[in-house]
Amino acid sequence: MIDVERMTEDTGTASKALVPPQLFSYWCKIFESAEYRPYIISSKRGGKTKETLSFVIVEKPFGRFLFSMPFIGYGCSFDQENLEDARAIVRSLEELARREDCLTMSISTHPLQSLDIGQVWDAPYKHRNHCQILSLDQHPLEAMSGKRRKAVKNEMQYVPRRSNFTIDTDPDRLTFDRWYEVYLKLCGEQQTVPQKKSLFEKYWEMSRDKINFWTLGNEDEVAGGIFFARGRGIVDYNTSAFDSKYKDLCCTTYVLGDYFDRLISEGVRYFNMQSSKKFEDGTYRYKERWGGKLYWHDIVSKSLADLDTVTSIPLEKIMKELPGCYVLPYSLWQQKDKGSGGA
């Protein structure tokens, strides 16, 4: 049986040992708005939810679109043993998207998904993205070589030796506001577009059990902090920002070291360190040093309307109005421009 429900705090999750954070219903608070309608589509057998896929229908003045978890990246985590359930979900989802007059539909798979999305959907466009995942059979330090372990442990002593900063696992509103100032400063230095404060406010509001928010600082200052999103058996490294003036303190390493102790004590199996902006850049190497193994996940999409209808929407508008959403490959707009004699 296939069910489609508006995503609410009461919506259930699949009865599996490993369920990524984005397949938990608390994400409804993040997306629910006049433009974004969050849903969960599920396959149920024998009274149990076997597979789920989270998605939003986005309403814009220039059209309607269906995305499986924009901004965050993962909409499903299908198991090969549930092949027929996955096929039924995707088939029903495309039928729903067409009834809703969506221009495009996209699905983002989880890197630990054992089922190739190509087995259940004939989408013509695919983008493959990397990420790095830690297996928490033991503390990551213990899996390192002796030389590397010594170096990381030494870095973890910089904060207590050179500052009076401590970790706050339950930051108040003032601490959150100070953290966001650090985040904006860092985005300016890196010349990246910051996410709206309202998004992180929703994270902070859930930062007790569903999302962990750990900051580093003292009574007068916040050096930075990290948001972690919790699932069943897996936690995601969501957003991190530390003031660059404290780079020599290795703040991220200090906070992660303590956080891994927490996860291991709770029996969490995996820690998803997410992707790096550039493959094998400094951030990639940092995650690799912790033991993050390389995984890949797919973002697949299909145009449900005539392709010219979609590509007639200016690409600049798509990028501005649908940030973090994989509509269709940008190359389709570039090919159209070339075909019409554009640059």
Q: Please give the model's pTM, rounded to 2 decimal places.
A: 0.90
C-beta separation of 90 from 107 below 8 A: yes
| CATH architecture assigned to 137-268 | 3-Layer(aba) Sandwich (3.40)
In our burial notation (b when 16+ CB lie closer than 10 A, e otherwise), range 140-151 reads bbeebeeeeeee
Q: What is the pLDDT of residue 342?
A: 47
Predicted confidence (pLDDT) at residue 164 exceeds the cutoff of 90: yes
Q: What is the mean pLDDT of residues 98-111?
A: 96
Categorize the per-residue pLDDT at 337 as very low, low, confident or very high, splitting at 50, 70 and 90: low
| CATH code of the domain made up of 2-129+297-339 | 3.40.630.30
Helices (H), the chain: 28-31, 83-99, 146-155, 158-162, 173-190, 197-205, 251-266, 282-290, 307-311, 315-321, 331-339
Rounded to whole angstroms, how far apart are CA atoms 177 and 201? 9
Fold match flag (2-129+297-339 vs 137-268): yes
Spell out the residues 6+ positions from residue 38 whose beta carbon is closer than 8 angstroms to its own.
Answer: 6, 7, 27, 28, 31, 32, 54, 55, 56
Domain positions in the chain are: 2-129+297-339, 137-268
Roughly what angle, to the nearest 10 degrees, separates helices 173-190 and 197-205? 140
| More reliable by pLDDT, 48 or 287 | 287
- Residue 341 pLDDT > 60: no
CB 287 within 8 A of CB 295: no
- Cα distances (angstroms) measured from residue 137 to each of 79, 113, 269: 22, 20, 7
Does residue 226 carry a pLDDT above 90?
A: yes
User: Is the pLDDT reported for residue 278 higher than 90?
Assistant: no
pLDDT digit string, tens, across residues 25-38: 887 777 788 888 88
Nearest to 7 by CA among 54, 59, 71, 62: 54
Q: How confident is the model at residue 343 (pLDDT cuts 50, 70, 90)?
A: very low
